[in-house]
Amino acid sequence: MNQLDHTQDILRQLIAYPTISADSNLQMIEYLADYLDHVGADVLLNHARDGTKANLFATLGQGHENGVLLSGHTDVVPVADQDWSHDPFDMVERDGRLYGRGTCDMKGFIAACLTKAQDYAKLPLKTPVHFAFTYDEETGCIGAQGLAKLLQDQGITPRLAIIGEPTRMKAIEGHKGCCEYTTHFHGKAGHGSMPDIGVNAIEYAMRYGTKLMDIAQDLQGRAPENGRFAPPWTTLNIGRITGGHIHNVIPENCSMDWEFRPVQDADFSYVKNTIETYVSDTLLPEMQRRDPNANITTEIVGEVVGLEPTDQNEARDIVLELTGQNHADVVPFGTEAGIFAALGMSVVVCGPGSIEQAHKPDEFIDLSQLDACLSFLTKLESKLAA
């Protein structure tokens, strides 16, 4: 069987595991572990605290240092409320495309990695090849953060990482961070005709939201010169507000989901400090004067650091060389790359399929993209073999 057919067979299996971030990925992890174990890799599983999900980290070759890491996430975004023309977890081939949830984001890359693992296992490897397959990327790179800790604890220090998110195999050397929060406003209920006896949670949420929008304005003025992102500043978005009951009841609870995407570390601290100060100096004292139990708490859903482009980047240079591209780009979406970069690896994002199709109904990957990925991973052998 040729490698593209083999990859397609693996991908069909991977798509059949409905690894929506909210659900367990253990069956898929078990499949990946069996497969990699079978080709001779050392396989480590790293479970989430509640045991329902796991990261997989596998190594071909000897040693803990200097390795090349291929990384992908196992989770996919939900399909509920999306209009699919077929079962999203039963892969369909049509007109040179493979349709199914996760085909491009990013089980196609994982399938290609598994196919090539068989070849890598036969090479006289000069440095180890690692495979990192994580959980909960789509909900804030939770799994990758656990994996990073595992690597640190075990003293595993790969020198470079390739993150196979869908970039149509273009080399990506930078992206913004992505920080997501849910802020809860706890007030005090009462009759709507007597606002003074209660603490209106929605009122404080609105003031908090207004402050966030002021910060969003400031961020535009803080954009670095010659920024390469589109837009070049840190963006901020309020995505959801829920709270209250009915016209005439003072709402005691309200919550707000919001996010920002820092282009630089300084903006990360600016946003957090500014909003925290507003809460502690203005909103909270007012609320608690009226009811000492009133409160505002913020839950961190995920704080994913960005990938800042750097002059020196071996991972990027290897991808450019092997794919014949002459420059690397930046993208507006977040990945696990910054987490690996923080461990000291040089990191590039490069994978098959297009982000245009990710997260949408009838998600697909072009077979030609899978083929291009296989051919890249084959050329990579020249960098791995002694």
Supply the residues annotated as catalytic.
75, 137
Residue 210: which residues within 8 A CB-CB, separation 6 or more? none
C-alpha to C-alpha distances, 272 to 71, 179, 298, nearest whole angstrom: 30, 10, 11
CA angle 376, 378, 381 (to 5 degrees): 115
Residue among 106 and 202 whose Cβ is closer to Zn ion: 106
Q: To the nearest whole angstrom, how small is the minimum distance from the Cβ of residue 72 to Zn ion?
A: 8
Q: To the nearest whole angstrom, how small is the minimum distance from the Cβ of residue 73 to Zn ion?
A: 6
Residue among 187 and 351 whose Cβ is closer to Zn ion: 351
* Length of the chain counted residue by residue: 386
CB-CB contact of 98 with 4 (8 Å): no
Tell me the residue number closest to Zn ion, measured at CB. Answer: 105
Residues contributing to the site for Zn ion (CB under 5 A): 105-106, 165
Grouping H, G, I as helix, E, B as strand and the rest as coil, residue 283 is: helix
Backbone dihedral region for residue 107 (phi beyond 0: left; psi -120 to 50: alpha; all else: beta): alpha
- Both tokens assigned to 52: 């329902």
Q: To the nearest whole angstrom, how small is the minimum distance from the Cβ of residue 106 to Zn ion?
A: 5
CB-CB contact of 305 with 335 (8 Å): no
Residue among 106 and 125 whose Cβ is closer to Zn ion: 106
For 230, half-sphere exposure in the C-beta direction (CA atoms, 13 angstrom radius) is 3
Residue among 110 and 263 whose Cβ is closer to Zn ion: 110
Count of C-beta atoms within a 10 Å radius of residue 142: 21
The whole-angstrom separation of Cα 359 and Cα 196 is 46
Beta-sheet pairing, 249-250 with 42-47: unpaired
Q: To the nearest whole angstrom, how small is the minimum distance from the Cβ of residue 8 to Zn ion?
A: 20
Q: Residue 237 pairs with which residues in a beta bridge?
A: 259
Residue among 105 and 362 whose Cβ is closer to Zn ion: 105
Q: To the nearest whole angstrom, how small is the minimum distance from the Cβ of residue 334 to Zn ion?
A: 9
Q: To the nearest whole angstrom, how small is the minimum distance from the Cβ of residue 191 to Zn ion?
A: 48
Residue among 46 and 71 whose Cβ is closer to Zn ion: 71
CB-CB contact of 119 with 381 (8 Å): yes
